[in-house]
Amino acid sequence: MAENVRVNVTVNGESRSSDVEPRLLLVHYLRDTLGLTGTHIGCDTSNCGACTVLLDGESVKSCTVLAVQADGADVKTIEGMAPAGNGALHPIQEAFWEHHGLQCGYCTPGMIMAAADLLKRNPNPTEEEVRHGLEGNLCRCTGYHNIVKAVMAAAESMRSGEGVPA
Ligand code: FES
Ligand code: FES
């Protein structure tokens, strides 16, 4: 068996250091080693996007990245989205809540992380651009209509400076 490798990662603003198997996927590192189970696993084909996190600010499917590839990187998961301490939600979370952007909620963490990346790159997207930006995230129960509405609403509130930046 291959030797474990030390990885140093900043996760949601906290430095974490672990010895991991070289083949360990980032999603398993986050969920099983660090206990951050808000990042979901929805497929074994890199298709669903439920495992999406921000890696150095860019959305990635964490089931397609090895934990060792995240060495030295800054990772943000759904647990790091809400501002700490005051019980408030991130504007994207708030908008999903307000606009009923979920049913079972399984895809929601990945959707929110993908939306955060999308809105950082394009703070004023059209509906079509939102649909395109979330193409890699599958939701099997909402038909996307309310998800798109939620992301459009989040974009608007973030542009007007409400809440916290992504
Ligand atoms: S679990 Fe990563 S894309 Fe489905
Ligand atoms: S809300 Fe159920 S899969 Fe998206």
For the stretch 21-35, pLDDT in tens is 999 999 999 999 999
Return the H-helix or E-strand segment holding 74.
Answer: strand 74-76
Cα(139)–Cα(152) distance, rounded to whole angstroms? 17
The percent helix, strand, coil of the chain (3-state, each to 5) is: 35, 15, 50
Residue type, 161: G
**What is the CA(126)–ligand 1 centre distance, in A?**
26
Which protein residue has the closest C-alpha to ligand 2 atom 4?
Answer: 139
With 60 as the cut, is the pLDDT of residue 164 above it? Answer: no
**What is the CA(82)–ligand 2 centre distance, in A?**
20
Confidence tier at 163 by pLDDT (50, 70, 90): low
What per-residue confidence (pLDDT) applies to 90? 96
CB-CB contact of 36 with 45 (8 Å):
no
Partner residues linked to 9 by β-bridges: 16
Which protein residue has the closest C-alpha to ligand 1 atom 3?
Answer: 46
Residue 88 CB–ligand 2 contact under 6 Å: no
**What is the CA(104)–ligand 2 centre distance, in A?**
5
**What is the CA(160)–ligand 1 centre distance, in A?**
33
Nearest atom, ligand 2, residue 105 CA: 1
Confidence tier at 165 by pLDDT (50, 70, 90): low
**Which ligand lies nearest the alpha carbon of 50?**
1
Can you spell out the DSSP letters for 102-166? -SS-TTHHHHHHHHHHHHHH-SS--HHHHHHHTTT---SSS-SHHHHHHHHHHHHHHHTT-S---
Q: Can you give the pTM of this predicted structure?
A: 0.95
